[in-house]
Structures are given as C-alpha cells and as structure tokens.
C-alpha cells in the first residue's frame, strides 16, 4: 500500500524465524558502528598484526622470496611455534579489550536511558534473546579480531608446512579457539553488565579498563605486601594467561604466556582457581544483567 | 462472544504488597477502557498481561491464550504503547519503528514499508528521518503509537495515550484511536485516568480501585438505557393536561419546580410525539435533555461502592 493513503491495515504476511530474530540487534548495531569513522578505522587497523604474521609465515616457507631481497637465513630468526601463536592471540585480545571498552557501553545503556526496553520485551522477544543479541554484537566483532585470524594463520601454516604439522600441533588450534572464546565471553559479559548499570558511556568505558588494570594493580599490591601469589586472583589477564598456558601447552609449559597475559615464573595459580574466579565474574555479570534487563522496573 | 481478555482470579504482588487483588472479569468489547485513580493498578495490569510481572495467583487469557503458558504467543498478538517515554534517542523515528517491527517478526522489507506507513498514519511523515530524541512530547506520543501498530497487532494496549498532550494534540490522538477502533481490525485496551478519553473511545469499561475491580460496565448499553430518561422544561398554562397526555403515551412522569418534568419513555415511543402532544396542549418545550448517567457518575459510584462482582 502506498504511504499516501494514510490508513491502518493489519499485517497478513509471513514472519521471520523466532530462532534467528535476535540477530536483528547485531545487524542494527553494525549499521551504527559502520557510521563511526574511528571505530571502523580501529577495526580495520586491528588486522595489521595478523597480516604481518601471514607475511612472516609466507616468507618462512619461501626462502627464494628472502633471497630476492638479499636476506639469507632470516627464516631462522622467527619460529612459527607456540610463542608465535600466543603472541598473536595476546595482541589481538588486548585490541579486543579496547574494542569492547569503546562499543560495549553503548549497547544496553541507550535502551535503558529512555525505557526502550519495555518496547523490546513487549514483543515476542525474550530477555534472553535481547542479551544474546547484544552479546553477539561484541562476540562477532571480537571473534573476527581474535580466533578467526588465529585459525586462518594456523591453517596457512599447516598448508605450507604440511598436514602432518597440523596434526602434531592441533593443540595450538584448540588453544587459539577456546582461549579466545574464554576471553571474549568474559569481556562481552563485563561490557554489557557495565553498560546496563552505568548509563554514562565514558564512565562505563573507563570502568572496563579499571576492572582490568586497577584490579591487577591491587592484586600486585596484595602480592607485594603479603608475599603471596594469590593477589593474581584479582588480575583477570593473569587468570586468562594461566588458562591459556594450559590450553596451549598442558602442564609441561615452556613459555610464560602470551604478551599482555604473562604469568610470572613460579606464580602460576591452580587451574581450578582461575576457572572458578572467571566463572564467578561471569555469574556476577549475568546477575547484574538479569537485574537490569526487565520490561519494567519494580519499586517494592 | 469469546472474551478478548479474561481475568481469572489474577493476583499480582510486589513483595508483600498486593497490587492486583484476584481480578475476575471477561472483557469482550472492541474497545475496552481501563479506568481508575492513580495507583489503582491499571499499568500493572497491562504489564502483567504483557508478561512483565508474574502473577502470584490466578491467570489471565488473551484471545484464549494463557499469559502464564503462552506469553510469547500473547505478545505476538499485542501492540503496546507505554505510558512513559520509550525510545532510543539517537535513532531516527522510522528506523526505530522498523527495528520494533522486525523484532515482532516482520521481514526486513515489510518492516520498512510498514514503518513508513505507520509514521504517515500518525502524522509524522515529514519528520520520520529525525532522531527521536529531538521530537516534541506530542511527536513522541505519536511515534509510540506508530511502533505499537506497525506490526499489525490484534490487540492494542494504550497506556495513558494522551499523557502530556496539548488540546489539539489530544484531539488528534483521540481521533487516531477512534479511527483505529472503527476500522474493526483490532481490539483496544485504553488505560487512562481521564474519563473523557475513555468515554470518547471505549464501549466497555473496567474500573479498578486499590487493585480490585470496582466496576465493570458496558458503556454502549448504559448509553442506550440512558436514552429513555429525559428531562424537559416547559412553559404554558395547561401543564397538568400536558402531563396527562404524556402519561397516556405510556410515559412515567415526575413533575418538578418551574415547569421541569422528568420522564421515562416507553420503548418505541419517539421524542417527536412529545413535541406533538405539547403543541396540542399549547405547551412549549423549552429544553430537553437526556438524563445521562455519564461515565463520571459511573466512576464516582464505583469509587464509593464496589460490589462483589464489580457490576453496578
């Protein structure tokens, strides 16, 4: 019907699948993010490091390419090993933290600021779908920055080195995939929870950094004063680093973790401690979201 | 007729406080008014029907679907215009309505088309690309109505739709609601504390007081019944003869001071006959009014006395 007729008519067409409806939220969010020149530039710039890594892998396997530029034996300078992939994951994960701090606070707070949430939830659209939709905005973007390039580089290396290398180093692939997911889930939940509770976006963004860096500083202070290693329980990046070490190398680790996610020698925490603290953090975030994501706020 | 909304002992508590107290009613009207003073539980009832509050006891059914067990299905049939501001400030009006229509399940292209239609329909066609945060209060109200109807609901919840509107904007909003009602494609539940809004738009009214049903009446029937009650003011020498002649027509009469007479007309008698009889008796009828039991009367009675089943 043409809009000039200006009348109301019921809708009789088909409906979209209820299972994929939550993806409407990331689609709108990506349209908004695309309008921000800063975020678009930042997101594109985040692929520079993986591109350099791809170049290194390529050059490693093409000695003739090195010969062209007159460099002989440079392929022995950088090894494509666990450190290489952990460093990639570390860098990309740190960039993911910045991305979450930039876009996370703008996810829930605009809906809460003017009570738009009641309109979302007055539709055949649940609170869970709302949270999933908002989470998927962060999860998709951070996945594209972390484990997707990680696995692509792993595949490139496997392709150039031979399939047997892939089989021998399958642990690296699972480490990249699961290690990145743990980080992404923690970041995404934290960003959404802060966005739901702190309506002022710059403050919510600053709090994101505060949770990581101030808490880490506090943990270091506890360690220094008490001469213990348990202060690392406040340091989320250290907890993640502990878990990554196990995911990438098992118990017999040869490195001290990824860049930005280092674990000091002799200060490793038991894995169950790290998992427990991260699980508690996620549960607290979920609780905070459950308290705020409601059709109406009840004043008892 | 199958009830549009059936309240079956619905009780809602916030902590220890009972907000809705075992409501029981079957609302069948095309346009249902929900009246009550502030704090009576009108908005809580709507929020409960939408699934925002969990009933402590009892339940409600919308088009036969239980709100406890078929909440999602219920919400797919409903359009909701909330009382307070509800929008995303940075989003353009048409994009916001499109998003809401998509979340209701409409495919992208349909949602976009209907968002534009809804905006033109509520009279915001020219400002549909402006950010919602820049809209005036009246425009925000209209935008809320647009998002409530864009996905073509079967039942529309309007919570205080004329809240904060200036008189011309209020008239426009009431006209829109009447237009939607008169098309007959959907049912309305209009919650308001403004009797005039309900009177102009509704054919059935549920009055709440302190979370209980204080009154429940069919305004159409009331209006029809009230048409039989007349009050006239006469001038003339032979008033007594006029009354006799009117009684012969089957009317019950009650003479008052200064030529005023109250009448109950029998079924089938037209008012024209009164004028004819008056002319025959050389009596002038200077004023004739239907003695209306207005919604205000009904409301005030309900506030004074709440019967067990709410019927007045």
Residue-wise pLDDT for A42-55, tens only, equals 999 999 999 999 99
Residue A174 has pLDDT above 80, yes or no: yes
Are the Cβ atoms of A124 and B15 closer than 8 angstroms? Answer: no
Are the Cβ atoms of B107 and A13 closer than 8 angstroms? Answer: yes
Are the Cβ atoms of B106 and A15 closer than 8 angstroms? Answer: yes
Angle at B210 between CA B191 and CA B55, to 5 degrees: 75
Kindly report the backbone phi and psi dihedral angles of residue B156, in degrees, each rounded to the nearest multiple of 5, phi listed first.
Answer: -115, 120
Worst-scoring range by mean pLDDT, B72-76, B260-264, B288-292?
A: B288-292
Q: Which two tokens stand for residue B196?
A: 């005039």
Q: Which two tokens stand for residue B49?
A: 């029907």
For the residues B33-60, what does the mean pLDDT come to?
93
Mean pLDDT for chain A overall: 89
Contacts of residue B112, Cβ cutoff 8 Å, sequence gap at least 6 = B94, B98
- Give the burial string for B50-73 (b: 16+ CB within 10 Å, else e): bbbbebeebbbbbbebebeebbee
Residue B293 has pLDDT above 90, yes or no: no
Output the pLDDT for position B64: 94
In a 13 Å sphere around the CA of B182, the CA atoms on its Cβ side amount to: 9
Kindly report the backbone phi and psi dihedral angles of residue B85, in degrees, each rounded to the nearest multiple of 5, phi listed first.
Answer: -55, 140
Q: Which two tokens stand for residue A283?
A: 């549960």
DSSP H helical ranges for B64-211: 71-76, 93-103, 108-121, 137-149, 167-183, 195-201
Q: From the CA of A102, how many Å to the nearest CA of chain B?
A: 17
> B32 near B189, Cβ under 8 Å?
yes
Are the Cβ atoms of B103 and A123 closer than 8 angstroms? Answer: yes
Output the pLDDT for position B312: 47
Nearest to B147 among A7, A18, A119 (CB): A119
For the residues A23-41, what does the mean pLDDT come to?
94
Are the Cβ atoms of A8 and B110 closer than 8 angstroms? Answer: no
Residue B308 has pLDDT above 70, yes or no: no
Q: From the CA of B120, how many Å to the nearest CA of chain A?
A: 6
Contacting A residues, span 61-90, partner chain B, CB-CB under 8 Å:
none
User: Domains of chain B, with CATH numbers?
Assistant: 5-223 (3.40.50.300), 227-290 (3.30.70.1340)
Four-point Cα dihedral B69, B72, B78, B84, nearest 10: 100
Residue A238 has pLDDT above 70, yes or no: yes
Output the pLDDT for position B227: 64
The larger pLDDT score, comparing residue A238 to residue B224, is at: A238
Interface test mutation site (partner B, options A11, A127, A199, max chain B beta carbons within 10 A): A11
pLDDT tens profile B10-35: 999 998 899 999 999 999 989 999 99
For the residues A219-223, what does the mean pLDDT come to?
89
* A225 reaches B (C-beta below 8 A): no
CA B24 from chain center: how many Å? 18
Interface test mutation site (partner B, options A8, A121, A131, max chain B beta carbons within 10 A): A8
| pTM reported for the whole predicted model | 0.85
For the residues A58-68, what does the mean pLDDT come to?
78
Kindly report the backbone phi and psi dihedral angles of residue B59, in degrees, each rounded to the nearest multiple of 5, phi listed first.
Answer: -155, -175
B183 chain-A contacts, CB cut-off 8 A: 7-8
Output the pLDDT for position B34: 94
For the residues A94-118, what does the mean pLDDT come to?
92
Q: How far apart (Å, rounded) are the C-alpha atoms in residues B87 and A116?
A: 5
Kindly report the backbone phi and psi dihedral angles of residue B40, in degrees, each rounded to the nearest multiple of 5, phi listed first.
Answer: -75, -20
> B302 near B209, Cβ under 8 Å?
yes
Are the Cβ atoms of A110 and B104 closer than 8 angstroms? Answer: no
Q: How far apart (Å, rounded) are the C-alpha atoms in residues B267 and B287?
A: 22
- DSSP-based three-state secondary structure for A283: helix
DSSP state of B266: P
């Amino acid at each position: 019907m043409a809009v000039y007729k200006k009348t109301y008519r019921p809708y009789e067409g088909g409906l979209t699948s209820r299972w994929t409806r939550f993806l409407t939220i990331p689609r709108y969010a990506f349209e908004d993010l695309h309008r921000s020149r800063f975020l678009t530039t930042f997101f594109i710039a985040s692929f520079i490091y993986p591109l350099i890594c791809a170049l290194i892998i390529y050059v490693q396997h093409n000695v003739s390419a090195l010969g062209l530029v007159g460099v002989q034996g440079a392929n022995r300078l950088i090894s494509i090993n666990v450190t290489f992939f952990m460093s990639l994951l570390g860098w990309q994960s740190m960039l993911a933290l910045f991305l979450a701090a930039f876009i996370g606070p703008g996810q829930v707070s605009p809906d809460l600021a003017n009570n738009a949430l009641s309109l979302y939830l007055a539709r055949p659209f649940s609170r869970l779908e709302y949270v999933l939709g908002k989470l998927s905005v962060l999860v998709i973007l951070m996945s594209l920055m972390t484990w997707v390039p990680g696995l692509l580089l792993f595949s490139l290396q496997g392709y150039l080195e031979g399939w047997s290398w892939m089989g021998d180093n399958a642990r690296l692939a699972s480490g990249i995939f699961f290690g990145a997911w743990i980080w992404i889930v923690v970041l995404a939940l934290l960003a959404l929870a802060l966005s739901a509770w702190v309506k002022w976006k710059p403050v919510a963004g600053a709090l994101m950094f505060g949770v990581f860096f101030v808490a880490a500083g506090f943990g270091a202070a506890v360690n220094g004063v008490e001469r213990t290693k348990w202060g690392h329980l406040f340091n989320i990046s250290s907890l993640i680093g502990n878990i990554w070490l196990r995911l990438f190398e098992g118990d017999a680790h040869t490195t001290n973790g990824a860049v930005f996610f280092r674990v000091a020698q002799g200060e490793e925490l038991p894995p169950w401690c790290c998992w427990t603290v991260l699980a508690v953090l996620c549960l607290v975030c979920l609780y905070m979201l459950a308290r705020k994501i409601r059709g109406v706020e009840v004043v008892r | 007729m199958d009830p549009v909304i059936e309240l079956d002992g619905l009780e809602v508590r916030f902590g220890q406080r009972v907000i809705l107290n075992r409501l029981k009613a079957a609302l069948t009207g095309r346009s249902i008014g929900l009246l009550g003073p502030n704090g009576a539980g009108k908005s809580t009832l709507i929020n409960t029907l939408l699934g925002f509050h969990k009933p402590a006891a009892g339940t409600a059914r919308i088009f036969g679907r239980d709100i406890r067990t078929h909440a999602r299905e219920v919400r797919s049939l409903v359009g909701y215009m909330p009382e307070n501001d509800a929008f995303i400030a940075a989003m353009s009006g048409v994009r916001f309505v499109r998003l809401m229509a998509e979340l209701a399940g409409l495919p992208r292209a349909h949602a976009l088309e209907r968002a534009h239609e809804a905006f033109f329909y509520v009279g915001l066609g020219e400002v549909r690309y402006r950010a919602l945060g820049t809209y005036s209060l009246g425009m925000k109200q209209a935008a809320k109505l647009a998002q409530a109807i864009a996905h073509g609901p079967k039942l529309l919840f309007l919570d205080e739709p004329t809240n904060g509107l200036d008189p011309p904007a209020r008239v426009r909003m009431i006209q829109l609601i009447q237009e939607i009602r008169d098309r007959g494609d959907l049912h309305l539940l209009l919650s308001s504390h403004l009797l005039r809004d309900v009177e102009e738009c509704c054919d059935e009214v549920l009055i709440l007081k302190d979370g209980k049903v204080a009154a429940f009446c069919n305004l159409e029937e009331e209006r029809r019944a009230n048409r039989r009650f007349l009050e006239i003011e006469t001038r003339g020498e032979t008033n007594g003869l006029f009354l006799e002649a009117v009684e012969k027509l089957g009317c019950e009469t009650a003479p008052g001071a200064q030529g005023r007479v109250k009448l109950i007309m029998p079924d089938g008698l037209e008012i024209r006959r009164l004028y004819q009889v008056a002319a025959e008796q050389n009596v002038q009828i200077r004023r004739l009014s239907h003695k209306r039991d207005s919604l205000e009367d009904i409301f005030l009675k309900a506030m004074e006395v709440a019967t067990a089943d709410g019927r007045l």
